[in-house]
Amino acid sequence: MADSSSSLVNAHTHLELGCFAHLCPPDSGASFVPWIIELINARRDIAPQGMAPFRAAVEAGIETLRASGTTVVGDITATGESVGPLLDGGLNGIVYYEVLGLNGDEALGRLSDARRKINEWRRREGVMRVGLSVHALYSCHPDLFREGARWCVAESVPLCVHAAESPAEIELLVNGTGDFREYQRAFNFPDFPIPGLSPIAYLEDLGVLEARPLLVHCVEVSDDDIARIARSGSTVAHCPRSNARLRCRRMPLEKFLAAGVAVALGTDSLSSSPSLDVREEAEAAIALHAATVPADSIRALLDSPMPLGEIDHA
């Protein structure tokens, strides 16, 4: 088994969300949509404190990664606060700056702001690179995905997307119903176009798979979806402890591995996971997939090469 002297990969974190560790659901889990609304409200509530809570969480998170022997990380930051510490921190990997928005014009405005910031940060890249995260299919207008992916392909910028995480996401995208429809109405976006497609088919339709993104979660996937991911050369981040605590189902890891998809393990943030130690994520994955994937195959994912979509788009 990989030990603390190994080069471990934690493919999915949101270090800055460590300040919301108190929102992490218990072992028995919590429903996805109420949890994410609680997270949004918590972010609003600490806004008067500025960036200090996020900055402190990033510093603590980097220390935890180092202590657990992690040398490669795929981190998402919505505030931008983790970019500087990760660029300067000696860890390898990608820090993705996140954009979201259901109003098309507003979202595209945020994208151009993000592009400007990412271009600035990229001048300071070393072993840590800077990428773009377009948050998730239920929280982003399709134009944001189209334009974001087009830019990532043109500029060789790594892209990360949360996809196919919960049954509620399927219900929204296929049928236009369920908890996420209520979430969108609560944020006053009743006109979100329902694609009538699975999340992965929708990403393909939007041109997102051409950017060969790091796809986070990929729990709710059909065999056709797995084939789409394999064909595109995209990579997948598997976060079983976060999935369990948000009452998502079992990700079909054995099918991804059989299809030759690059899979890496990720802890996700401390707001939905009990630790940032990816070795503990591997143990959880071994227990979850005991009937279908050998333990050694799962431990091998801890140091899988090129796990974060670090590819040359040219």
Q: Which residues are part of the catalytic machinery?
A: 165
Start-to-end C-alpha separation, the chain: 36
Tokens representing 84 are: 């500087």
Residue among 56, 83, 86, 50 at smallest CA distance from 70: 86
Which phi and psi (to 5°) does residue 47 adopt? -50, -40
Q: Where are the beta strands (DSSP E) in the chain?
A: 8-13, 70-77, 92-99, 128-136, 159-163, 214-217, 235-238, 262-265
Tokens representing 129 are: 């690179």
DSSP 8-state secondary structure symbol assigned to residue 128 = E
Q: How far is CA 177 from the centre of its chain?
A: 24
- Tell me the residue type at 21: A
b (16+ CB within 10 A) / e for 62-92:
bebbeebbbbbbbbbbbbbbbbebbbebebb
